Amino acid sequence: MSDIFWLSDAQMTRLEPYFPKSHGKPCVDDRRVPGGIILIDCNGLRWRDAPKEYGPQKTLYDRWKRWHDRGVFTGTMAGLAAERSEEKTAMSDAA
């Protein structure tokens, strides 16, 4: 089943602080769910087309929706960008 993961252990370690903590009953493996969300997004699939190895399709959608509504994806991108210590400015001239 390890071949279904889109994110390496190192990548998951960097992302874990940005995921909401589980409350109540244990959640589906947080490494599988982002992999399923990435698969759906990258391939333009319907939620019901995700392979069962990523967990129930309803779980994938519910987690995506909940994380989206809470700004988890935006916070993750901002947090990862802030980890970079150097600031760069990109400019282009279309003259």
Predicted pLDDT of residue 1: 46
Predicted pLDDT of residue 69: 94
Q: How far is CA 59 from CA 9, 63, 92, 93, in A?
A: 22, 6, 43, 46
Q: What residues make up the domain containing 78?
A: 29-82
Prediction pTM value? 0.70
In 44-71, which ranges are continuous DSSP H helix?
57-69
Count of domains forming the chain:
1
Residues of the chain with confidence (pLDDT) below 70: 1-3, 26-30, 85-91, 94-95
